[in-house]
Amino acid sequence: MKFVRYQLKDRRIYGIWENDRVKEIKGSIFGEYETTGVVHNINEVRLLTPVEPSKILCVGLNYKDHIEEIGARRPELPSHFLKPQSAVIGPGDAIRYPKIAQQVDYEGEVAVVIKNRIKGAASGSRSTTPNCHPN
């Protein structure tokens, strides 16, 4: 089963993509949901980014091959940086970059969606949130 977020006319909707059809759902993909009975052919909708992140926190210089590739020195701790929401695009969307850009890099990414917030957890302690660790 694949959850998708899609646009149909002026509506942005979540659905379940099975075979070449998208079943509209109501509720939360992170919790309770149900299908509405409305089904669309995948070719009738525009697929969007899976989620609309409030922030994108990235980790840089965190794997050896890339550090060597760019001729950098391995830091004691990986660097962290933010990306704007506009850095996330949907399937088939154009990749836009400034005309003054002299180098555009590409790479595969791994995303983690965090459902619950944890605040003030001691390092090394086990969280009361299932499947979540404060480190």
pLDDT per residue as tens, the chain (135 positions) = 899 999 999 999 999 999 999 999 999 888 899 999 999 999 999 999 988 888 888 888 888 888 898 898 888 887 889 988 888 888 889 988 889 988 887 777 777 776 677 777 777 666 555 444 443
Assigned domain for 95 exists: no
What is the number of structural domains in the chain?
1
- Within-domain flag for 99: no
Q: What is the extent of the structural domain holding 33?
A: 2-47
Distance CA 120, CA 77 (A): 21
Instruction: Note whether residue 118 is domain-resident.
Output: no
CB 16 within 8 A of CB 8: no
pTM greater than the 0.95 cutoff: no
Assess if residue 86 is contained within a domain. Answer: no
User: Any idea what the CATH number is for the domain that residue 20 is in?
Assistant: 2.30.30
